[in-house]
A and B are shown apart, each in its own frame.
Chain A
């Protein structure tokens, strides 16, 4: 059974249709890289998966839970789908450690001391073992984004969603984030990544999806599509990104 299943999903913002009859099935262990022009609906598609946006038509099932179910089930769904934002969105009043411990404490009900111990392990895993007691404002963008990844992982999701995780970063800080994502993929995490990092798509992605105007127009093997983009729009898009 697939872990994410879009069935004829439509999403509108007022008069604007942002997702048009999207069908998409993602299996466990896939690393799906989502690309497409600005405004094509990539963020919206991702945000529908953990119900940060509500869908207007069709159905969307994540790990057996439909986004149309009631609120308590949605909260459960969100715990299974960790989210990493372009702007990091770390809690500024909490240290890096407290940020990572936040989810387990308030969602899983883990005891504070235990949550902090687990947070140390996760921070070490993203290469920030020494930075636990710093506040977000005291960290570089790359470090903040790695803390944000650790924070999402702390709730033990089955699936990770990344919305342009490196777009807000200076070029020299992107690699440290991409490396963390790559090692996560190597551990077998199911991931859906909106990104312009074509190198990441080729090296780490197991599947490449190209969106245009709220529709998925290309879906296939990253290397094959990048080497030989038959779709003219994809070819043009890649030309601009490179």
Chain B
């Protein structure tokens, strides 16, 4: 069969619109997920028993269920339970926040705990309060170690947004699906969709490499 470029050209505006939404969901979700993950990761690493247990339950709950089920729950079940209205877009963003947050919590925890205990003691021995040791000693070292796995998680979450096709949010995969359903040009459309995802993930990978190079990993 022939690859008809005109199909791609015609579909491109709609696909780019979808890609924009994909970026929006991923970016907003990951900003929130990083915040949530940082808090939960600190709770896991340094929290008292209660905070640690709460964070652990959250992490296990999310890691133990598929993301499609999570977004279905947030979009369909939560409004019934809590009597709220929720748009597909905000359900999608919220899902990335809580989903990525759980994985990032483990990344943050691992990085914090990987920092040699002797450095904490060296900071304390100088007379610093514990929070300053966390901010000025452990934090900067842990942050450097977090960057590779964090970048990995960002790429995974970006691709996970394609699963939100199930709630009808018009991200890239959904747009591709809709165009395909009207013109039946599966080869052209899915090739174009795949390439758009590749462009987004490559950009992320490059940004990651650049950051890793600039920061010496300790």
B-contacting residues of A (Cβ < 8 Å)? 50, 52, 71, 75-76, 78-79, 81-83, 85, 87, 89-93, 102-103, 106-107, 135, 148, 151-152, 155
Contacts and interface: CB of A to CB of B under 8 A. Distances in A.
A78 B127 contact: yes
A207 B94 CA distance: 66
Interface of B: 116, 118-119, 121-129, 132, 136-137, 140-141, 144, 216, 218
A78 B125 contact: yes
B126 A89 contact: no
Contacts of A71: 129
Contacts of A87: 118
Contact of B126 (A93, A135, A151): A151
Given A106-B132, A106-B136, A89 B118 contact: yes
B122 A93 contact: no
Given A52-B124, A106-B136, A89 B129 contact: no
Contact of A93 (B118, B124, B128, B140): B140
A78 B121 contact: no
A89 B127 contact: no
Contacts of B118: 85, 87, 89
A76 B126 CA distance: 9
A92 B141 CA distance: 8
Output the residue of B122, B129, B132, B136 with the most chain A CB within 10 A.
B122
Given A75-B129, A151-B126, 13 more contacts: A71-B129, A76-B127, A78-B126, A78-B127, A83-B125, A89-B116, A89-B122, A91-B141, A93-B140, A102-B126, A106-B136, A148-B122, A152-B125
Contacts of B129: 71, 75
B114 to A, nearest CB: 12
A79 B141 contact: no
A30 B209 CA distance: 54
A89 B121 contact: yes
A149 to B, nearest CB: 12
A82 B126 CA distance: 7
B128 A89 contact: no
Given A106-B132, A106-B136, A91 B126 contact: no
7 contacts: A52-B125, A76-B127, A78-B127, A87-B118, A89-B119, A93-B141, A152-B126
A125 B155 CA distance: 50
Contact of A78 (B124, B136, B216): B124
A78 B122 CA distance: 11
Nearest to A104: B126
Output the residue of A76, A78, A92, A151 with the most chain B CB within 10 A.
A92
Contact of B127 (A90, A91, A107, A148): A107
Contacts of A81: 125
Contacts of B218: 92-93
Ranked 8 nearest A-B pairs via Cβ: A79-B127, A89-B122, A83-B125, A89-B118, A78-B127, A103-B126, A92-B218, A107-B127
Given A89-B118, A89-B119, A106-B136, A155 B126 contact: yes
Contacts of A89: 116, 118-119, 121-122
Contacts of A155: 126-127
Contacts of B216: 93, 135
B100 to A, nearest CB: 26
Contacts of B123: 91
Nearest to B121: A52
A87 B140 CA distance: 20
A152 B121 CA distance: 12
Output the residue of A78, A90, A93, A103 with the most chain B CB within 10 A.
A93
